[in-house]
Amino acid sequence: MNADKMFRLDGKIAVVTGAASGLGRAFALGLADQGALMICTDRNEEGADETASLAKQRQGKAEAARLDVGNEREQTDFWNDLAERHGRVDVLVNNAGISTGPQRLHELSIEDWDRLMAINLRGSFLCMRAAIPLMLAAGSGSIINISSIAGLTGYYPGFARLCVNYSASKAAIAGLTRQAAAEYGRDGIRINAIAPGWHGGTNLGAERRAQATPEMIRRSEEAIHARVPMGRRGVPDDLVGLVVYLAGDASSYVTGQVIAHDGGWMSS
């Protein structure tokens, strides 16, 4: 195949969850730029609408839909509607996710454990459970789950920058990805995960930042910059090339991978 065409997604239908801001918005715009009909979903409907409008301003094809990934009824309604209107989904990016406050394990409430798992892990499972039958019927599909380097390694520079519920959910996303990739490889469905390192320009951690002291935030920023071999945080646009690669034919023999995107963090 012509190398230019490997990255094109013309005629594909792509769903991104959590597309109202941050990484999800960048993913949605990048996939629309490559020709996919982009279905931008989020529990924040206004933000999802805005992402779809931005994609259209760039000559992309896009729609917006409400989907709280933790809500089973919304999941059923969304996927039934998608099946009825489009009959297929070619690309699913399970991006919606949250983090909770800056607690250490013994301080973490059961409510915060459950609230986060319901979105970060169960939400991704529910989307895959609904999308895979459509992909099986088509005989192809690409699912991209969003893990984190927090799911691959621990990090504690003397204060609670991350919380175990977040790290555990992201490690579980890696397991979900590998097992599902093994189950569906023969069906033409590829399933990979991206494990981003520290990326700025998103709303992730707003809850944690609201509870942290300015001194904690300062120390945390310094510790991150000192540890990243490339010497900077990523920005959402840094991730677009990888998601486009995993979505389409350029990665046709790649499945079950958890790819760190972290300025070298995991290698140092």
Ligand X SMILES: NC(=O)c1ccc[n+]([C@@H]2O[C@H](COP(=O)([O-])OP(=O)(O)OC[C@H]3O[C@@H](n4cnc5c(N)ncnc54)[C@H](O)[C@@H]3O)[C@@H](O)[C@H]2O)c1
Q: Would you name the residues annotated as active-site residues?
A: 166
255 lies in the site for ligand X, by CB under 6 A: no
| CA atoms of 190 and 211, how far apart (whole Å) | 39
Site for ligand X in 59-88 (CB under 6 A): 67-70
Contact by Cβ (8 Å): 243, 28 = no
Of the candidate residues 65, 89, 98, 189, the single one contacting ligand X (CB under 6 A): 98
Q: What secondary structure letter does DSSP report for 62?
A: E
Burial tier of 14 (Cβ tally within 10 Å: 0-12, 13-18, 19+):
buried
Q: Which residues make beta-bridge pairs with 192?
A: 144
Of the candidate residues 12, 16, 39, 47, the single one contacting ligand X (CB under 6 A): 47
Of the candidate residues 144, 199, 208, 265, the single one contacting ligand X (CB under 6 A): 199
Rounded to the nearest 5 degrees, what angle is found at the Cα of 70, between the Cα atoms of 64 and 74? 50
Q: Encoding tokens for residue 39?
A: 């279905």
Binding segment (CB under 6 A) for ligand X, from list 8-16, 89-97, 157-165, 222-230: 89-97
3-state DSSP assignment of residue 196: strand
Write out the DSSP string of 113-151: HHHHHHHHTHHHHHHHHHHHHHHHHHT-EEEEEE--GGG
Which residue's CB is nearer to ligand X, number 96 or number 244? Answer: 96
Which region, left, alpha or beta, applies to residue 94 given φ > 0 means left and ψ of -120 to 50 means alpha?
beta
134 lies in the site for ligand X, by CB under 6 A: no
Contact by Cβ (8 Å): 95, 16 = yes
Return the axis-axis angle of helices 164-184 and 110-120, rounded to nearest 10°.
Answer: 30
**Minimum distance, C-beta of residue 50 to ligand X, in the bound complex (Å):** 10
Which residue's CB is nearer to ligand X, number 35 or number 127? Answer: 127
Of the candidate residues 91, 127, 146, 244, the single one contacting ligand X (CB under 6 A): 146
- Judged by CB under 6 A, the number of residues near ligand X is 29
43 lies in the site for ligand X, by CB under 6 A: yes
Which residue's CB is nearer to ligand X, number 124 or number 255? Answer: 124
141 lies in the site for ligand X, by CB under 6 A: no
263 lies in the site for ligand X, by CB under 6 A: no
Residues 157-196: x/- map of binding to ligand X (CB under 6 A)? ---------------------------------------x
Which positions touch ligand X (CB under 6 A)? Answer: 17-18, 20-24, 42-44, 47, 67-70, 95-98, 119, 123, 146, 148, 196, 198-199, 202-204
